[in-house]
Amino acid sequence: MKITCLIRYQIDPFQRDAFQKYAENWGHIIPRCGGHLIGYFLPHEGTNDVGWALVAFESLAVYEAFRARIHADAEGLANFAFAREKRFILREERNFVRIVEGTFEKPSTFSEG
């Protein structure tokens, strides 16, 4: 994948379960609409009101076509409506990033002993 859309969500920390359901819903909608879903991430330790999503695309043009499809998809529209109704997303930021060659998915070479 050439680019990754990095989405940062500021969420209501008292509605983490609603955000989790929202994320799980995207688990089958995003791939069906043409995005390579890397994953959604909930806060675990530390800051309790920030979630993340990573979705990869071959190009910005592919992303734009994906956005059109997802906004025409019945389940996608229902998931957007769910978020608006429950108001668990307080703010959303999108950035497009690319991998620095030789740095992605590098396994640990650490050895104890």
Q: Residue 42: count other Cβ atoms within 10 Å of its Cβ.
A: 15
Flag whether 107 is in a domain: no
Residue 12 lies in a domain: yes
Report yes or no on 10 lying in a domain: yes
Domain that holds residue 93: 3-97
Radius of gyration of the chain (CA): 16
Q: For residue 108, tell me if it sits in a domain.
A: no
pLDDT at 78: 98
Number of folded domains in the chain? Answer: 1
Amino acid symbol at 58: E
Question: What are the residues whose beta carbons fall under 8 Å from the beta carbon of 89, sequence distance 6 or more?
Answer: 9, 10, 11, 12, 19, 22, 83
Q: Note the pLDDT of residue 106.
A: 86
- Which residues are CB-contacts of 67 (< 8 A; sequence separation ≥ 6)? none
Q: What is the pTM of this model?
A: 0.89
Whether 111 is covered by a domain: the verdict is no
Q: Do residues 8 and 87 lie in contact, with contact meaning Cβ atoms separated by under 8 Å? A: no
Q: Is 106 contained in some domain?
A: no
Whether 60 is covered by a domain: the verdict is: yes
**pLDDT per 10-residue tile (average), the chain, 113 residues:** 93 97 98 97 93 96 96 98 98 95 87 82
CATH number of 39's domain:
3.30.70.100
